[in-house]
C-alpha cells in the first residue's frame, strides 16, 4: 500500500492506494494533519511507503512525524520522473504540476496530452507523445478573479461563484459573474484550440476543485477527473520504488 499526500494552498488531500487503486481518500485542514497521520498508521498497517507533495508552507514537525511512521519521499525536481522534463527552470516548477504530468504519462502514454488543473490557480501542462514535458501556463483561478475585482477596486463587491444567467450581465453582480466565469471558459476553450492547431490528436484532462463546475460548461471533449493529482503522486512513488 502507498500513502500519498498533497498539501495545497487551501487544504490537504490524502489518498491510500492498493497498487494503482485508490481505496481511501480524505480532505483535511493542516491543524488536523498529525492526528490523521496517527490514525492512518493504525488503520492501514500495510502501508509500505509515502510521498509528500507540498505547494504551501509545511511545518518540519509534520514532516518529521510522517517520516517516523512511513518510508517517505518528498517530491521535488530532483526525484526521478517517468518523463523527460524540458522546463527551462525546473527548480521553480510546482511539484503539483510534476504529479499531474506523471499521471498523464501513466494514463495516456504516447499521447499528446494537456492537463488543466482548475484550483486556486489554473495551470496548463503539456507533455507530448514522446513523453517530453514542454511546460504550459499559469493563470488566476475562479476565486482569485472574484477576489482581485474586490481588492483592487473601491466599489465592486466580493461574490461567491455562481453561473451567470446570461452572457450579457444586466447588473453589476451578473456582469462580474459573466466576466469571471465566461472569461475562464473562453480562456480554456481558446487554449485548447491553440494546442489543437499543432497537436490535432490532443487529449485534454480537466482536474482540480473547480473541474466539475467548468466541465459542464465547456464545449470541448475533455476527461474530467478529481483524483488525477493523487494518481500522479502514486505513480511517481511506485516509479521511484522500482528503480
> Which residues are part of a known binding site for ATP?
6-13, 120
Q: Which residues sit in the known binding site?
A: 6-13, 87, 94-97, 117, 120, 172
Sign of the alpha-carbon torsion through 189, 195, 200, 206: negative
Measured between alpha carbons, how far is 76 from 54 in angstroms, rounded to an integer?
9
User: Which grid coordinates are listed for 212?
Assistant: 466539475
Query: What does the alpha-carbon distance between residue 110 and residue 129 come to, in Å, rounded to a whole number?
Result: 4
Task: State the Cα–Cα distance between residues 75 and 141, nearest whole angstrom.
Answer: 24
Given 20, 43, 96, 210, which residue is catalytic? 96
Known binding-site residues for substrate equal: 87, 94-97, 172
Cα distance from N-terminal residue to C-terminal residue, the chain: 17
The answer to whether residues 30 and 8 touch, using CB atoms and an 8 Å cutoff, is: no
What is residue 55's DSSP assignment? S
Per the annotation, the verdict on 32 as an active-site residue is no
| Residue 150 near residue 158, CB atoms below 8 Å | yes
Name the one residue in this structure whose C-alpha cell is 489554473. 122
Could you list the active site residues? 96
Amino acid at each position: 500500500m502507498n500513502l500519498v499526500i498533497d498539501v495545497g494552498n487551501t487544504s490537504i488531500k490524502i489518498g491510500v492506494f492498493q497498487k494503482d487503486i485508490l481505496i481511501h481518500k480524505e480532505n483535511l485542514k493542516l491543524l488536523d494533519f498529525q492526528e490523521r497521520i496517527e490514525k492512518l498508521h493504525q488503520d492501514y498497517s500495510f502501508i509500505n511507503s509515502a510521498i509528500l507533495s507540498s505547494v504551501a508552507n509545511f511545518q518540519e514537525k509534520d514532516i518529521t512525524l510522517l517520516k517516523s511512521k512511513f518510508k517517505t519521499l518528498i517530491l521535488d525536481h530532483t526525484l526521478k520522473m517517468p518523463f523527460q522534463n524540458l522546463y527551462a527552470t525546473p527548480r521553480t516548477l510546482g511539484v503539483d504540476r510534476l504529479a499531474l504530468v506523471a499521471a498523464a504519462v501513466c494514463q495516456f502514454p504516447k499521447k499528446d496530452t494537456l492537463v488543466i488543473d482548475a484550483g486556486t490557480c489554473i495551470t496548463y501542462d503539456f507533455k507530448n507523445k514522446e513523453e517530453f514535458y514542454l511546460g504550459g501556463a499559469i493563470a488566476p483561478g475562479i476565486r482569485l478573479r472574484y477576489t482581485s475585482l474586490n481588492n483592487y477596486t473601491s466599489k465592486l463587491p466580493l461574490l461567491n461563484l455562481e453561473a451567470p444567467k446570461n452572457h450579457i450581465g444586466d447588473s453589476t453582480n451578473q456582469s462580474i459573474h459573466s466576466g469571471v466565469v465566461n472569461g475562464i471558459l473562453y480562456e480554456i476553450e481558446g487554449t485548447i484550440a491553440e494546442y489543437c492547431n499543432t497537436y490535432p490528436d490532443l487529449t485534454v484532462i480537466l482536474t482540480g476543485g473547480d473541474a466539475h463546475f467548468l466541465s459542464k460548461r465547456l464545449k470541448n471533449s475533455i476527461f474530467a477527473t478529481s483524483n488525477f493529482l493523487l494518481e500522479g503522486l502514486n505513480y511517481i512513488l511506485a516509479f521511484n520504488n522500482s528503480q
